[in-house]
A = this chain, B = another copy of it.
Amino acid sequence: MLRVAVALAWQKKRVGGMRMPSTAARAVHALKDENCPILISPSLVSLDLPDIWASNPTPHDFPSAHKCSNEQNAAIIDGKSMAEEIMSRIAFEVKRMKESIGKVPGLAVIMVGQRRDSQTYVRNKIKACGEAGIMSMMTELPDDCKEDEVLNALSRFNEDPSVHGILVQLPLPQHLDEAKILDVLSLEKDVDGFHPLNMGNLALRGREPLFIPCTPKGCIELLIRSGVEIMGKRAVVIGRSNIVGLPTSLLLQRHHATVSIIHAFTKNPEQITCEADIVITAAGVPNLVRGNWLKPGAIVIDVGTNPIEDPSCEHGYRLRGDVFYEEAVRVASLITPVPGGVGPMTIAMLLSNTLDSAKRAYDFT
């Protein structure tokens, strides 16, 4: 298995007759520039291009489905080190904000119940806040709490000017109305980007959401930092959850990928996946995506973090992705590991969104 840092290629692409640098190329350029923004991903509205269709293209023979082979070794996308690089830039910006205006960004977390995975996620987020100099606070509520208790906690954070981001750790216990709770969350503090207005603005060309959901944003940032040109690529998103699959498919579309969304009612998912240049999986099913689901040279982003019982591990379990990694790594050209791929980027994006929110609140540039 080839464990190499992903090389960033300077690419040029002809768009609409105009010679312009690709997103990946601009990304590399930005990385070299010390004054560049923390994230390389461009604003969505800046990506908007008119659809100029080629009328009546010449019909041609269609190639048969790609044969999936087992001969290639993938380079590993090192999400951990990319996230660390972003985190250090965030920490620098937080320090600059504190020194300039005496303020720091604040993130509030509402955690209901005792889910082990949620507790781990929240702990990691709080820890990351501390490392970046972002103030964090948490309200923990019991599993059987009333909806009003959650709404009251939310209202307090909505009104607190030292809080710039609020996240309600999902999933909530069944008896709570998730939609109703998320609707109460102040749009300006919705750093998870789950509010339907944010989602609508993510979907609609010509518009820009206040916040892009963290995991999808992290996936795109991983791709761009790996030198992957998304425009025109066939992308398959496996899973259509409100928090990952759906916004990921919308975001890939804003980047001009040709997107197919696979879910549990899809027949022959492997057949569709095998045609994709980019596969992003968020199904929550360990080892769902086998090596023969992939086109040789595909780029694979694995959002799955599924605990698998393993008595030999410290906590009695280990994490597996949605992708059968040992098979996929022989077929793909680029792949994220689990853990150490998308996970750290999600947290970095949460902190980036919180920083952006604080900058907006204080009009700090």
Residues of A within 8 A of B (CB): 49, 51-57, 59, 62-65, 178-179, 195-201, 203-207, 231-232, 234, 239-240, 242, 246, 250, 253, 256, 258-268, 270-272, 274-275, 283-288, 290, 292-293
Contacts and interface: CB of A to CB of B under 8 A. Distances in A.
B57 A270 contact: yes
A287 B204 contact: no
Contact of A262 (B52, B258, B285): B258
B265 A240 contact: no
A258 B263 contact: yes
A196 to B, nearest CB: 3
Contact of A261 (B178, B179, B240, B259): B259
A203 B55 contact: no
Contacts of A253: 240, 261, 263
Number of copies of this protein chain within its complex: 2
A353 B234 CA distance: 36
A203 B258 contact: no
B246 A203 contact: yes
A49 B264 CA distance: 10
A259 B253 CA distance: 13
A246 B201 CA distance: 12
Contacts of A53: 264, 283-285, 288
25 contacts: A49-B265, A52-B264, A53-B264, A53-B283, A53-B285, A55-B285, A55-B288, A56-B288, A56-B290, A59-B290, A59-B293, A62-B268, A62-B271, A64-B65, A179-B206, A196-B197, A196-B200, A196-B204, A203-B246, A204-B246, A258-B260, A258-B265, A258-B272, A259-B261, A260-B261
